[in-house]
Amino acid sequence: MTSPANAWKQWLAENGPRLLLFARGWSNSRQDAEDLVQDAILRMWHHQADKGYTPPDLPLVFSTIRFCGLNHHRSESRRRKREESVIYLNDFQDVWLDPVLEDDEDALILRDAVQHLSEKLREVVMLKFWGGLTFLQISETLAISPNTAASRYRYALEQLAHELRRIKQDRHETA
C-alpha cells in the first residue's frame, strides 16, 4: 500500500506544473507562486485528514490556491504601503508558459497574450486548458455559474485570436 507521503509526491509530480501556472496569476514572481502552491498543499493536507490523507481533488486545490493568493495579495498590498520607498524589480525573463517547439511564433505571441488577459478571463483559460477542468468544475472553483465560465472561455479565445492576428499583421507590415 502506498504511503500518504508517496501518494502526495506522485500527485504533486503529475499536477505541480498546472498548480504553479494557476498560482502565477496570483503572485508577482515564480518564487511567490511556488510558495502559494506549498501553502495550498499544506492546507490541503490538513483538510484531507478526515479522508485518510488521500490526495485532494484538483478543483479544490485550485480554489485553495486562489484563497491563499487573495490573502497574500492583501498582506502584500499592506506591506507595500508601509515600504513605499522600496523599489521592486521585475524579472522580465520570467514567463508563465514554455513553448514546446522552438521559434513557434504563434505560441510565443499567445503566451504573452494569455498573461495579459484580464484576471477573470485568464483564470478560466488556465483552469480549462492547462488545469484540465470541466466548465462545471471551473464554476465550483471560481464560484460562478457554468454558463459564465463557458462564456468567459469563449470570450478569452476571441481576444486571443484577435491579438494573434493583430500582432502578425503588424509584423507582416513591418517586414
Under the criterion CB under 8 A, does residue 45 sit at the interface with other proteins? yes
Closest residue by Cα to residue 72 from 98, 33, 100: 33
Q: Which residues of 23-33 are buried (b: 16+ CB within 10 A; e: fewer)?
A: bbbbbeeeebb
Judged by CB under 8 A, does residue 175 bind other proteins? no
Minimum distance, C-beta of residue 6 to other proteins, in the bound complex (Å): 9
The C-alpha cell at 139 is 464554476
Regarding 12 and contact with other proteins (CB under 8 A), the answer is: yes
Binding mask 140-159 for other proteins (x = CB under 8 A): -----------------x--
Q: Residue 57's closest CA among 22, 111, 19?
A: 19
Distance CA 14, CA 102 (A): 24
Using CB under 8 A, which of 84, 172, 174, 175 touches other proteins? 172
Stretch that binds other proteins, among 38-46, 68-76, 83-91, 141-149 (CB under 8 A): 38-46
- Which of 47, 63, 107, 144 contacts other proteins by CB under 8 A? 107
Task: DSSP letter for 84, please.
Answer: T
- Calpha distance 51→102 (Å, rounded): 44
Query: 3: how many CB neighbours lie within 10 A of its CB?
Result: 9
Q: Which three cell numbers stand for residue 16?
A: 505541480
Binding of other proteins by 18 (CB under 8 A): yes
Instruction: Mark residues 66-95: x for contact with other proteins by CB under 8 A, - for none.
Output: -----------------------------x
> Hey, is 116 helix, strand or coil?
coil
Chain residues binding other proteins by CB under 8 A are 3-5, 8-9, 12, 16-18, 20-21, 30-31, 34, 37-38, 41-42, 45, 49, 53, 95-101, 104, 106-107, 110-111, 114, 129-130, 157, 160-162, 164-165, 168-169, 172
